[in-house]
Amino acid sequence: MSVSSVVRSRATRFLRRRKSTAFIMSFFWAVAGVIFTMSLREAAGYALSLPVLWCSGVAKILPFVAAFIGMDLISSERSSGRMDMFLVTQASLKEFVFGRFTALLFLLLQWVLVLLVAEVSLLGILLPEAFAQVRLVSFMPSFAILAIQGALWSAIVIAAGAFTHHAALSCLTAVTLASLLPRALWVAISSFFPKFSCFKSEMIFDVHVADFASGLVSLPAVIGYLILSAYALYVATTRLEMLRFEGVGGRRCRVGATSVLIASSIFIASLVSLSPRFELSLDIPVQSSALQFSSRTINLISETRGNVSAVCFMSRKDPLFRQTSSILRSLASRSRNLGAAKFDISYIDINRDTTMARLYSRNGVVPPAVVFESGNRRSVLQIDGPIDDHQVSSALRDLTLPFARRKVCWLTGHSELSFSDYGPNGMSDIARELVRAGYENVSINLADMLSVLPSEVAFVIVPNAKNDFSRTECSKIDSYLSDGGRLLVLMSDASSGGVCSLLPKWGIRPLKAATTYSRTFTGEDAIVSEFEAHQISSPLLGAQVVFDAPVAFEPSSAAAISQSEASSSNTVVKADNISFTALAKADGNILSAISERGSAVGSDLSLRPTRIVVVGDGSFAVNSQLKFRANANRDFFMNIASYLSGVDSFYDAPENACGLLPTLDVLRVSRFMIGSALGFPLISLIVMLLFISWRKHR
């Protein structure tokens, strides 16, 4: 039996037999329960996975748990004189420190494991709708990152204990080193150097937690944590060794040991800061993984052949470097698995590879960007924010499709939303997506006497017009539609004069009645996950699209309806050959619909059918909606764009788009909070105290 295992079992028993350990564990279980419940409430409507939510909350309090449980693990040994009794034996201090460290780490992991099992069980019982799409195995990466971070926090607690006699001081030091100081530094750095505040100002520890919990495992991060943990244990061992050098005679030894500690800390800091440069990531396929690609992207990848060169042209210090590198590597890995093109990823750092950087700059590539090259074709993906697979697939598509840029006309002059507005209520995000898909965004004001809707535009968008259209404007739109025009209307008010007056003529009537819906996040919105069979909505089967304060539609009664397809009640064909198709329905209300004229003519005739798509939510695709909520909204919009412009390549939502967390009933959430923050910790405390008492009197 090695000394470290004896020390570990001794320390484990010491911790388990203490009543304070039971109180500390129960208290932090309660805190974790409160944090998780609040996160569940706040995350309603967002495409966040439960493991990420759970793990993020637990990770924040883990340093505190470690510090409070292990505060007297070393300091009490020093203050009581037991440390001296150990120092006079031939046993190694390394084994002593390692034994204590493993005892604390194992207890910490038990705390995490019990919490995980308890909260997942309570979730399954009390909030089954939140737990429906989650498997227990999805939490494994979360547990892994908590174990890795727990090792670092435990090592820091041990090191802090080696420097002080007092448990409270040891606890304070550990909490400061593990949580308070890094977070304060991060805030300070983010404030003074905004370029460092990468990943939405999240701290690096939090980024690791979110990445790991979603299945993106960065090996350099793991190595970094292990190096730091080992270093903290080394510091603890050296500090305890210095206890043997009491007195003036040992001053030289103490100074020497301190110098070694300072030098090694510089070395370790350099080593850890270098580690992210050797980016090696594993993609563990857990639910809501950050690197899950949509079927469209997978289809595109599978259709690519030969060699594709992907050049990441950016500084490695760029906050987005890691994320970009990860997505490219995942792309290459997925392509390899599909037996498609061979992706050759290379990196050109603008600061280091100056020759290559100059070459690319001379060719008009502005960093940061990803340059895809295949044969003589080149597609440049400009990076102005975290990239996703849609952008990558659009860039790949540009490599294969001939260059053709079609125009999308955005109507203005009636307080419409603007595609050049980058604010939360602007539509810059979806406009950029259209550009990536090969469209050109142009605005047009029909009030201008000379302006006419050109027939060659792909389609016209009326983005939430609030003011009335003049008769002339209506006439211009009507004329455009009569010539086989394509129109997308986003509307949030059925009573406005906008194009409402025009729509009934084309088979669609907006309804004024506001309705509350059974599936909702905020009470005013409607969640739609069941779509009618249509080429726009079919690829989104199972995904969730959110309509905020929606307007409903019905087939226009002005035109005579011939119920030729009465059996399929969704499609009503009208007398003048206008068909009405419901796209999305909620509680029987049609929230998005299509009107098409001329689709029934023979395919041998070169006639362009008129197509109108209405979406009963003016803010359906505004920036704030697309940023966090509902990836499916973006896909729904892009599918409409493809349908209106006659392109058959459609977007479908990635799997994690289905993972929007539902709004939870307050009463049931309260029950969950009582269970996880009160019931479970209290029962655990009683069980632990009974066990301690039983062990004591056995």
Partner 1 sequence: MFEVRDISFAYDKDKVLNGVNFSVAPSSPVAIVGANGAGKTTLLKILAGLACPLAGSAFLDNRNVSINTIRYRKQLGYMPEKIALSDDMKVREYLIYRAVIKGEVPRRATRRVDEVLKLCSLSDFSRKYAGDLSAGLKKMISLADAILLKPRILLIDDPYSGLDVASRNLATDILSTYAQNSSVIVTGHEIEELSKWVDSFLVLEKGAISKAVSAGEDRSALGLMVRKVLEGGE
497: number of CA atoms within 13 Å, CB side?
9
Strand partners, 562: 573
Is the backbone of residue 150 left (phi > 0), alpha (psi -120 to 50) or beta?
Answer: alpha
The CB-of-150 to partner 1 minimum distance in angstroms stands at 24
The CB-of-225 to partner 1 minimum distance in angstroms stands at 30
The CB-of-10 to partner 1 minimum distance in angstroms stands at 6
CA distances from 369 to 312, 322, 617 (A): 6, 13, 34
For partner 1, which is the closer residue by CB, 91 or 114? 91
For partner 1, which is the closer residue by CB, 22 or 43? 22
For partner 1, which is the closer residue by CB, 10 or 135? 10
For partner 1, which is the closer residue by CB, 192 or 694? 694
176: number of CA atoms within 13 Å, CB side?
9
For partner 1, which is the closer residue by CB, 7 or 489? 7
3-state secondary structure of 9: helix
- In the structure encoding, which two tokens stand for residue 467, read together? 């003011």
The CB-of-37 to partner 1 minimum distance in angstroms stands at 36
Q: How many helices (H) and strands (E) does the chain have?
A: 24, 19
- In the structure encoding, which two tokens stand for residue 306, read together? 């030969």
Q: Which residues bind partner 1 (CB under 8 A)?
A: 1, 3, 6-7, 10, 13-14, 17-18, 80-82, 84-91, 243-250, 253, 696
For partner 1, which is the closer residue by CB, 15 or 118? 15
The tokens 């819906």 sit on which residue? Answer: 517
For partner 1, which is the closer residue by CB, 15 or 156? 15
The CB-of-83 to partner 1 minimum distance in angstroms stands at 8
Amino acid identity for residue 582 in this structure? A
Look up residue 538 and give its DSSP letter: G
The CA R_g of the chain, rounded to the nearest whole Å, is 31
> Which residue, 505, 504, 441, 448, is CA-closest to 473?
448
The CB-of-339 to partner 1 minimum distance in angstroms stands at 58
Instruction: Tell me how crowded residue 651 is: count the other CB atoms within 10 A of its CB.
Output: 28
The CB-of-237 to partner 1 minimum distance in angstroms stands at 15
Burial of 314 (0-12, 13-18, 19+ CB in 10 A): buried
The CB-of-218 to partner 1 minimum distance in angstroms stands at 40
For partner 1, which is the closer residue by CB, 12 or 676? 12
Contacts of 164 (CB under 8 A, 6+ apart): 75, 78, 170, 173
Output the 3-class SS for 364-411: CCCCCEEEEEECCEEEEEECCCCCCHHHHHHHHHHHHCCCCCEEEEEE
- In the structure encoding, which two tokens stand for residue 328, read together? 């490219």
For partner 1, which is the closer residue by CB, 90 or 355? 90
Burial string for 363-388 (b: 16+ CB within 10 Å, else e) reads eebebbbbbbbbeeebbbbbbeeebb
For partner 1, which is the closer residue by CB, 70 or 555? 70
The CB-of-251 to partner 1 minimum distance in angstroms stands at 8
For partner 1, which is the closer residue by CB, 71 or 669? 71
For partner 1, which is the closer residue by CB, 15 or 310? 15
Look up residue 178 and give its DSSP letter: I
The CB-of-96 to partner 1 minimum distance in angstroms stands at 9
For partner 1, which is the closer residue by CB, 14 or 106? 14
The CB-of-249 to partner 1 minimum distance in angstroms stands at 4
The CB-of-321 to partner 1 minimum distance in angstroms stands at 49
3-state secondary structure of 586: strand
Residue 625's φ and ψ, nearest 5 degrees, are -70, -35
Contacts of 586 (CB under 8 A, 6+ apart): 517, 518, 519, 526, 527, 528, 547, 550
Contacts of 382 (CB under 8 A, 6+ apart): 366, 368, 369
Look up residue 676 and give its DSSP letter: I
The CB-of-233 to partner 1 minimum distance in angstroms stands at 19
